[in-house]
Structure 1
Amino acid sequence: MSFPALPTRLDGAELAVQTRGVAKRYPPDVVALERLDLQVPTGAIYVLIGPNGAGKSTTVRVLLDLVRADRGTASVLGIDTAAQPALARGQIGYVPETVDTAYGWLTVGGLLKHHAAFFHAWDWAYAEALCKRLGLRTGERFRALSKGGARRVALVTALAHRPPVLLLDEPTDGLDPLARDDFGALLVDHMADAPTTILWSTHHVHEAERMADHVGVLRNGRLILQAPVDAVRGGLRRYRAEVPEGWAGAPGLNGDVLVRARAGREITWTVWGDERQVAERLSASGATVREAGRLSLEDAALALLRAGEAA
């Protein structure tokens, strides 16, 4: 099956985060990223979606210069992250996928002091307010915290210096359902007070769907889609149609069908394209369209990641 011509560029937008032709392989021959052209507009909440192993964490780590790309360049606020890594990291708040416990002997308060030393803009009043909101006790040893507690500390260290860019790598991992819900409210309040560009890497799409305005989908290290969320919701539909016996398909749509399923004389196709044109082509092939439904962002991501699977 040919793959549809999906949008992968955000030309014309002012970009806060960008990569150009970034490639990364891990020995012996694992492709983590392949010609990645990530474009995160200034002020956007950009959700980077993909399954485990798709390259999401590698992308974030390249932007922090914690991983050096084999080819290509990366920049944050126009700063080349490989040429000036310290300057770039000074503009970033980072929540890693796995919280480092190397400083586990420190108290929460001691760990915050350690982080504050690296950021001139660190706001102690805000850090204390965040700790109170997140239920953190500054006198508690970091190593004694639960996974969720360690994640809350990481959120404080990421937000307390009010950085212009936030890189969030699975930021709700380890949080209970109530805390996951509160996390979204915390981000909204933070952005209202400190305008921020957010790159949110996740495979839990439903958690970010309410806030996302741009989306990128990574599949096997390649960015297969990059677009405003409204464009994705407008361009992707799930069609349910009845087809006659011996129906041979809709040749004019074959390149735009991401996922197809059939049960008897009923088909369910997920198609990228203009709804009117798709419906016309289905009708011209002999199918009777019964429904053309929009997809949630999560369902759209699943369709994109499953494109080409037989059903």
Structure 2
Amino acid sequence: MTTVLPTHLSGPPMAVATRGIVKRFGRETALDHVDLQVPEGAVYVLVGPNGAGKSTTFKVLLDLVRPDSGSAEVCGLDPRRDGPRARAQVGYVPERLDWGYGWMRVGRLLEHHAAFYPTWDRQYAAELARVFDLKPERRFGALSKGQGRRVHLTLALAHRPRVLVLDEPTDGLDPVMLDDTLGLLAEHVADTPTTVLISTHQVHDVERLADHVGVMRDGRLVLQAPRGLMHTHLRRYRAEVPDGWRGAPELDGAVVRRGRPGREIQWTVWGPEREVAGAFARSGAVVRDAAPLTLQEAAVTLLSRKEQA
């Protein structure tokens, strides 16, 4: 049973796509042939540790960083050739809040931003400002990280863009505001036709929103799949094995993580449950349990696979 983790999506049209993106900063490779695919209408969560390449990928989509090779597409537009039109389709929350508008009052910043978007919904912007408890008289540069994040979320959502690109959008939010923000995002997706691309290393924050998942490590996508496929194909197996058990050769390439050896083992394996259980049985092991992983557990397991190889 030879298994390769899925890294390509097929089926619906893609709202966002990159093809073979490579980006180097000096001798460091930030992106290594990244083929990101975000279906129209999806809530796609891109997970990975700091430095994995998530923010650089987002900046390529907005033409804030230009790749050394490869191409990108946002709503059918090439950001390099048609950057302003592509960016007009996007609501963006950057990882860093230093946009150079620190001297502006929050109210003036909202008005300034609205002037660039014909689709700016003033009533919705006012509602967002109320939910996020924005103070229009405060200087943006004097805000805390969490307060600044709320301003950026308002700027991103109020013009009801076709695509939301949210880079660590929950970073700095207190627990109450985090819960309010996630509820608001869920309502926004339900009420406004949009595609959402979220990057995070705090997977549990956005687990309930995700329907597609990408896992990025060292500038590469190591997995890209619908959430439902991950639920059915990535499972933790608990099995009893006989003395002198030599493993399950049929599962080579499908094992994502091996637990400590013993009479009872716990392996995390990618593949249809019936095929995996059959491979265990033919090796002499008796499967006692096969449980799906939470998105948080799946992300940690996939990101640690390098050490398990």
TM-score (norm 1): 0.96
| Residue 93 of structure 2: aligned partner | 95
| Residue 20 of structure 1: aligned partner | 19
Matched residue SS, 2:149: helix
1:194 to 192, 195, 214: 192
| Residue 269 of structure 2: aligned partner | 271
The amino acid across from 2:21 in the alignment is V
Q: What is the CA–CA distance in structure 2 between the aligned matches of 1:153 and 1:17, rounded to whole Å? A: 25
The amino acid across from 2:195 in the alignment is T
8 Å CA contact 1:101–1:143 kept in 2: the answer is no
Moved more, 6-15 or 163-172: 6-15
Instruction: Name the count of aligned residue pairs.
Output: 309
Residues 1:11 and 2:10 are matched in the alignment: yes
| Residue 247 of structure 1: aligned partner | 245
RMSD: 1.5
CA shift, 1:309, in A, is: 2.2
Q: Structure 1 regions of 5+ residues with no counterpart?
A: none
Q: What is the CA–CA distance in structure 2 between the aligned matches of 1:131 and 1:83, rounded to whole Å? A: 34
Q: What is the CA–CA distance in structure 2 between the aligned matches of 1:145 and 1:183, rounded to whole Å? A: 18
Moved more, 285-294 or 161-170: 285-294
The amino acid across from 2:115 in the alignment is A
CA shift, 1:192, in A, is: 2.5
Q: What is the CA–CA distance in structure 1 between the aligned matches of 2:122 and 2:61, rounded to whole Å? A: 27
Post-superposition Cα deviations, 1:106-132, rounded to whole Å, max 9, x if no partner, equal 110011112112111112221111101
The amino acid across from 2:129 in the alignment is C
Q: Structure 2 regions of 5+ residues with no counterpart?
A: none
Matched residue SS, 2:31: strand
The amino acid across from 1:219 in the alignment is R
Pairing of 1:206-221 with structure 2 (within 5 A): 206-221=204-219
CA shift, 1:3, in A, is: 8.9
CA shift, 1:264, in A, is: 2.7
Q: What is the CA–CA distance in structure 2 between the aligned matches of 1:142 and 1:310, rounded to whole Å? A: 45
Post-superposition Cα deviations, 1:214-246, rounded to whole Å, max 9, x if no partner, equal 111112111111111000111111011121221
| Residue 153 of structure 2: aligned partner | 155
Question: Percent same amino acid among aligned pairs?
Answer: 59
Runs (4+) of structure 1 exceeding 2 A deviation are: 308-311
Going from structure 1 to structure 2, the CA distance change for 1:66 and 1:259 (only over 3 Å counts) comes to same
Q: What is the CA–CA distance in structure 2 between the aligned matches of 1:181 and 1:23, rounded to whole Å? A: 36
The amino acid across from 2:268 in the alignment is T
Matched residue SS, 2:103: coil
Matched residue SS, 1:249: coil
Post-superposition Cα deviations, 1:244-302, rounded to whole Å, max 9, x if no partner, equal 22111011112110100125322110000111111121122121211111111111111
TM-score (norm 2): 0.96
